[in-house]
Structure 1
């Protein structure tokens, strides 16, 4: 089991997620963003950057949290965060309309898995990436897109309409980036697919 950190801002959904016994199993080190210092990120193998953090505080902490990847570790950056100014390698981000009810109606939300032979899919279900998203990413060259949408009209879906990717080229370690916000919905008990994504990310990076 990796030494896991969980960066949060004290919001109800983040605290509820941290209190979940299935998350506690991974023994996360709780790091409160307003008080975070470089020492809080020492010796971590994996860091989860929770969704919906204060953008100014997150940008201030970015150089310290990215030291996890500089040491060869993994940083998971979740959605509804302002990442364009500090995330290494990111070539583009644009907002996209969010449909909160695809998961209830059974419609095709246009999300497709890519890199089907990737190890991520041993831990992530189809449902884990098909509920909703809050933007579209253009990953760095050499990164591995894992999920994209075919509903948007601009850009190549496989490279510019991405909602989950793994980047092992921009730092000595690994960045896993998504525009989905599983902590918010898991902590709010709203959307089963979000819980599957959160648990799947823990299994994938902690195994």
Structure 2
């Protein structure tokens, strides 16, 4: 691995984000820590992958959106986590709808309606079913041509099933790719609440990381 990290982690300094960055399993990837309130265009230069942490200030996120999207426009990967305000600046997104959030599906064992798509997709070499079945904060309507990897079959009153997407990969809206989810793994990993969230966070790093992590 070169001394200049090719993996960026955009955060707002919240406790769960700092706890995640302090995790040895995350530090092994040597992410470039980008503090949102002070972020500028130069902070994103040379990145192959950018993780946009969940629960960022919507105004600050919209301000820096053109700069962070440059990573994808230049052929890299931008991973946008929920719970974030992404309408108005995320390319290709056709809708983000509210959905009931149930914090206890992972404990009760009930069917939360989440289903996996495209079993041969490379994402499933890094992600497990448990990593995407804990809860979510909305329903995405991806752009035409995007790959919907996770969806829910639960009925949403007045809303068609085509909008019930929880995780997608978009290779059509930029020269690179956008990976978007309404799950918020950084918050729950940093809060030590929900093991599936930790699995999703680690899985996303394995899937999208372009460098080899160092030994912890």
Q: TM-score, normalised by structure 1?
A: 0.97
C-alpha offsets along residues 81-134 of structure 1, whole Å, 9 cap, x if unaligned? Answer: 000110000011101000000000000000000111100001001000000000
Residue 160 of structure 1 and its aligned partner are, at CA, apart by: 1.1
C-alpha offsets along residues 19-62 of structure 1, whole Å, 9 cap, x if unaligned? Answer: 00000111100000000000000000000000000000000000
For the aligned residue pairs, the C-alpha RMSD in angstroms reads 1.1
Corresponding residue of 2:126:
123
Corresponding residue of 1:74:
77
Corresponding residue of 1:22:
25
Corresponding residue of 2:56:
53
Runs of 4+ in 1 over 4 A off after TM superposition: none
**1:202 pairs with 2:205:** yes
Corresponding residue of 2:179:
176
Question: 3-state DSSP class of the match of 1:66?
Answer: helix
CA distance in 1, matches of 2:205, 2:61: 22
Corresponding residue of 1:132:
135
Corresponding residue of 1:162:
165
Corresponding residue of 1:112:
115
**1:11 pairs with 2:14:** yes
Corresponding residue of 1:36:
39
Question: 3-state DSSP class of the match of 2:179?
Answer: strand
Residue 152 of structure 1 and its aligned partner are, at CA, apart by: 2.4
Corresponding residue of 2:213:
none
CA distance in 1, matches of 2:160, 2:130: 23
**1:86 pairs with 2:80:** no
CA distance in 2, matches of 1:152, 1:162: 12
Listed as ranges, the gaps of 5+ residues in structure 2 are 211-216
Corresponding residue of 1:187:
190
Q: TM-score, normalised by structure 2?
A: 0.93
